[in-house]
């Protein structure tokens, strides 16, 4: 699983003159994962999640049932999910 967020979204609330930054979290499932020591094929999938903050609660909630490899940047918000077990941290190439 690959996970990343982007800040390309700018929100303009009704009655305000200044914008505020929102986030779009992207999750990419590569199509395979390990189950009981065996590599099993799954359909590849991409999910986008809109969020008004960069809180670690967004990836924590989205990935709460996922077990396997997670390739992500060094964002500290992922730390809580690594600590709960089930995820193998794979570093970012950036």
pLDDT of residue 94: 62
Query: What does the pLDDT look like over 52-88, one tens digit per residue?
Result: 888 888 888 888 888 888 888 888 877 877 887 788 8
Q: Which domain holds residue 72?
A: 2-90
pLDDT of residue 87: 85
For the four alpha carbons of 51, 4, 72 and 68, in that order, the dihedral sign comes to positive
Q: What is this structure's pTM?
A: 0.73
Strands 87-90 and 38-41: unpaired
Provide the number of structural domains found in the chain. 1
pLDDT of residue 63: 83
Q: Which of 62, 66, 60 is nearest to 34 (CA)?
A: 66
């Amino acid at each position: 699983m690959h996970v990343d967020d982007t800040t390309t979204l700018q929100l303009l609330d009704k009655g305000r003159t200044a914008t505020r930054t929102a986030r779009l979290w992207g999750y990419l499932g590569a199509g395979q994962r390990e189950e009981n020591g065996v590599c099993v094929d799954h359909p590849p999938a991409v999910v986008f999640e809109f969020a008004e903050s960069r809180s670690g609660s967004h990836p924590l909630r989205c990935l709460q049932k996922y077990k396997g490899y997670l390739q992500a940047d060094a964002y500290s918000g992922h730390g809580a999910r690594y600590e709960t077990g089930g995820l193998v941290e794979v570093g970012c190439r950036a």
